[in-house]
A and B are shown apart, each in its own frame.
Chain A
């Protein structure tokens, strides 16, 4: 094992014999004159763009405020006919009412998750320009697998606080070492004659609730 380590590193060093010792260091070697974001927007306009791009990639977008959230969630779950809902440990308990809640436990098997109808989570950050939700496994989001196995995912985004304009801004807010899932619309494939089909393995329905404070 270690034999090949030295072998490969040796090959690399010989291959790079032409690279001078004093080459431009990383900090100066990469020009960063691309944009920090694309376009000027107020926070409200940024939220609108998020909603637009989410919908463009076929997520279903709803808007409400904090007091209205429980009834919106109850309505969405009822409309779907969901009998059981998977709930990450840190999800505010007053968000869900009148539906059987299944706790996300470390020992629950993929088979158990497969039997749950829906899952409700928060998110870490949402990116307006790309219509992306980033989940980083925080307590209100739970383990990555719980938003993967059930067929219906409702994600609550606190607006405007959790919304950024661009990918560079999102990366700056995130902690690299947390296990992360970036979600942009429901799972999709175009593998058969380039015809788009939603929901190959992830949830086939992605609903996003944009929740303002008041």
Chain B
């Protein structure tokens, strides 16, 4: 299926490799800890954070529960404003629609603003196969694209690269993609950013077609919102003549007013800023001619597993996600395993519940993802839309292990229990990995005793058998860390 990282090993193997990678671990620890501390400050400035979080959760829940109605309302509003709406049931269809739209303009290259949805469907590769080159314009995405590799964090996708590596990538690869990096490029971030600015400006100025995602779509007005920092989003959204936005169907909010909640919670939760540097809003092609909105606007509404996720009454809350990445930065497992171990464009806690739902648990990696967690609950505490990630994880573990009814591509099917097939082994290894890395558990454990109402005594499924024989402690009584200290003499497997 598209969107999977082909040949990706199951979570425990990938995580083991990542833990051995010193650069990655050092960068990740630095990144997650820095952002985490800044975020806490930005959030504490708002005395009504809890009320904003509750409102955000309710807005999203309400929208999801009436999604058919809001999709139709959005379609009407976008169409009335001069845009064209397309519907894509899966990645393949979305890619085909975009490729055809690009070809119809006669162009063979597009500029892209970072979008998780287009990464999920593998749009760049699909366009390449059609002879269309897609240029990523977000600095981190540029680093990832030039380096021929995969993003590892939602917010700072190139966090696995340090400045020396980035300089080397720019020096050796920029020339093949356009304006080369200067000969004497050093590894100072300011110089590297300047090299990227020059390299990309040439592309922005000549681009005729842009592809974007969106953070929000307002059903009542047909307005799309893109939140960003660098200005590459603004470049893509205003300079080209044709704009194609590929957006998951769950990105709708009912009213203009609803933005007052998310424009407060998203920047603070994500980059820990009061407000991100640039936010662009546009409504179809309203204003083109006088203002410079692209002359043609196409909205591709993407399903690709979202309706299957919606059908699961416990799992559907994952669709509330506004991709702020706060849950990654507090996750002790993510901090050690790194983004790549999750084998999907959605890493960290949200990836562990979203990918297996969007893609099904047919592959080893997807079956093992619900185990890539210590259930410490830190992700739930920081989530600005209050997704109970541990609850969904446990639900998905049961599903993997015991089987049961699920919806796949719109059809109800009954999943076989994992027992006896390859998934079970992957699952067992994942559970063992998490519990043999107390370092990965320690950070979150004390939080758990304070804040979680959800404290499993045993792991469900194969974990249950495993934890029964290993005497998994009740969390509130004795944090895992203390238990480990007592039983392993404080020696950490790092």
Query: A residues touching B (Cβ–Cβ < 8 Å)?
Result: 1-2, 4-5, 7-16, 18-19, 23-24, 26, 29-35, 38, 53, 57, 106, 109-111, 114, 127, 129-132, 137, 143-145, 148, 167-168, 171, 176-195, 197, 199-202
- Using a CB-CB cutoff of 8 Å, which residues 261-277 of chain B contact chain A? 261, 263-264, 267, 271, 273-277
Q: B166 on the interface (CB 8 Å rule)?
A: yes
CA gap between A200 and B192 in the complex, in Å? 10
Task: Select which of A26, A110, A167 is within 8 A of B260 by beta carbon.
Answer: A167
- Using a CB-CB cutoff of 8 Å, which residues 444-492 of chain B contact chain A? none
Can you give 25 contacting A-B residue pairs, CB < 8 Å? A2-B87, A4-B87, A4-B303, A8-B307, A9-B68, A23-B65, A34-B48, A57-B273, A109-B205, A127-B275, A171-B256, A177-B81, A177-B222, A177-B223, A177-B286, A179-B280, A179-B286, A183-B277, A184-B274, A189-B230, A192-B192, A192-B193, A193-B163, A194-B159, A200-B196
Binary contact readout B29-71 vs A (1 if CB under 8 angstroms, 0 otherwise): 0110011000000000111100110110011011001111001
Q: Which of A11, A19, A168 has the most CB of B within 10 A?
A: A11
Q: Is there contact, CB below 8 Å, between A31 and B249?
A: no
* Known contacts A106-B289, A144-B238, A171-B259: A202-B278 contact under CB 8 Å: yes
Binds A, one of B3-11, B290-298, B336-344, B381-389: B290-298
* CB of B70 to closest CB in A, whole Å: 10
- Using a CB-CB cutoff of 8 Å, which residues 172-208 of chain B contact chain A? 189-190, 192-193, 196-197, 200-201, 204-205
- Give the chain A neighbours of B363 by CB distance below 8 A: none
- Give the chain B neighbours of A178 by CB distance below 8 A: 283, 286-287, 291
CA gap between A195 and B52 in the complex, in Å? 30
- Using a CB-CB cutoff of 8 Å, which residues 344-361 of chain B contact chain A? none
Q: Is there contact, CB below 8 Å, between B256 and A201?
A: no
Task: Select which of B88, B407, B410 is within 8 A of A10 by beta carbon.
Answer: B410
* CB of B256 to closest CB in A, whole Å: 5
* CB of A70 to closest CB in B, whole Å: 27
Task: Select which of A9, A129, A144 is within 8 A of B72 by beta carbon.
Answer: A9
Q: Is there contact, CB below 8 Å, between A131 and B193?
A: no
Q: Is there contact, CB below 8 Å, between A35 and B218?
A: no
Q: B373 on the interface (CB 8 Å rule)?
A: no
CA gap between A109 and B239 in the complex, in Å? 9
Task: Select which of B45, B62, B88 is within 8 A of A4 by beta carbon.
Answer: B88
Q: B86 on the interface (CB 8 Å rule)?
A: yes
* CB of B342 to closest CB in A, whole Å: 20
| Chain A residue at minimum C-beta to C-beta distance from B81 | A177
* Known contacts A14-B311, A201-B197, A201-B235: A186-B277 contact under CB 8 Å: yes
- Give the chain B neighbours of A186 by CB distance below 8 A: 277
| Chain B residue at minimum C-beta to C-beta distance from A139 | B290
* CB of A75 to closest CB in B, whole Å: 26
- Give the chain A neighbours of B263 by CB distance below 8 A: 167, 171
Query: B residues touching A (Cβ–Cβ < 8 Å)?
Result: 27, 30-31, 34-35, 45-48, 51-52, 54-55, 58-59, 61-62, 65-68, 71-72, 81, 86-89, 93, 97, 137-140, 143, 156-159, 162-163, 166, 189-190, 192-193, 196-197, 200-201, 204-205, 218, 221-223, 229-232, 234-235, 238-239, 249, 254-261, 263-264, 267, 271, 273-283, 286-287, 289-293, 301, 303, 307-308, 310-311, 313, 316, 407, 410
* CB of A199 to closest CB in B, whole Å: 7
CA gap between A168 and B48 in the complex, in Å? 13
* CB of A143 to closest CB in B, whole Å: 4
* CB of A201 to closest CB in B, whole Å: 3
Q: Is there contact, CB below 8 Å, between B278 and A187?
A: yes
Q: Is there contact, CB below 8 Å, between A30 and B232?
A: no
- Give the chain A neighbours of B27 by CB distance below 8 A: 193
* CB of A8 to closest CB in B, whole Å: 5
Task: Select which of B52, B61, B291, B313 is within 8 A of A18 by beta carbon.
Answer: B313
| Chain A residue at minimum C-beta to C-beta distance from B280 | A181
- Give the chain B neighbours of A114 by CB distance below 8 A: 201, 205
Q: Is there contact, CB below 8 Å, between A35 and B276?
A: no
Q: Is there contact, CB below 8 Å, between B303 and A8?
A: yes
- Give the chain A neighbours of B156 by CB distance below 8 A: 190-191, 194
- Give the chain B neighbours of A202 by CB distance below 8 A: 230-231, 234, 277-278
* Known contacts A144-B280, A184-B277, A192-B139: A16-B65 contact under CB 8 Å: yes
Task: Select which of A11, A31, A184, A197 is within 8 A of B273 by beta carbon.
Answer: A184
CA gap between A10 and B232 in the complex, in Å? 37
* CB of B33 to closest CB in A, whole Å: 10
Q: Is there contact, CB below 8 Å, between A194 and B34?
A: yes
Other than the given A7-B87, A110-B205, A131-B275, 13 more pairs (CB < 8 A) read A1-B97, A15-B307, A34-B52, A38-B46, A114-B201, A148-B235, A180-B281, A182-B281, A192-B192, A193-B162, A199-B197, A201-B137, A201-B234
- Give the chain A neighbours of B287 by CB distance below 8 A: 137, 177-179
Q: Is there contact, CB below 8 Å, between A183 and B58?
A: no
Q: Is there contact, CB below 8 Å, between B68 and A5?
A: no
Task: Select which of B201, B278, B407 is within 8 A of A182 by beta carbon.
Answer: B278
- Give the chain B neighbours of A187 by CB distance below 8 A: 229-231, 277-278
| Chain B residue at minimum C-beta to C-beta distance from A142 | B291
- Give the chain A neighbours of B289 by CB distance below 8 A: 106
Q: Is there contact, CB below 8 Å, between A12 and B307?
A: yes
CA gap between A182 and B255 in the complex, in Å? 19
Q: Is there contact, CB below 8 Å, between B271 and A190?
A: yes
The 4 tightest CB contacts between A and B, nearest first, are A202-B231, A201-B231, A11-B307, A15-B311
CA gap between A23 and B69 in the complex, in Å? 13
| Chain B residue at minimum C-beta to C-beta distance from A177 | B283
| Chain A residue at minimum C-beta to C-beta distance from B187 | A192
Q: Is there contact, CB below 8 Å, between B89 and A8?
A: yes
* CB of A139 to closest CB in B, whole Å: 9
CA gap between A137 and B230 in the complex, in Å? 20
CA gap between A197 and B291 in the complex, in Å? 30
CA gap between A104 and B446 in the complex, in Å? 59
Q: Is there contact, CB below 8 Å, between B231 and A19?
A: no
Q: Is there contact, CB below 8 Å, between B256 and A176?
A: yes
Q: Is there contact, CB below 8 Å, between A32 and B55?
A: yes
* CB of B50 to closest CB in A, whole Å: 9
- Give the chain B neighbours of A194 by CB distance below 8 A: 30-31, 34-35, 156, 159
Q: Is there contact, CB below 8 Å, between A1 and B163?
A: no
Q: Is there contact, CB below 8 Å, between A26 and B51?
A: no
CA gap between A11 and B54 in the complex, in Å? 28
CA gap between A192 and B186 in the complex, in Å? 13
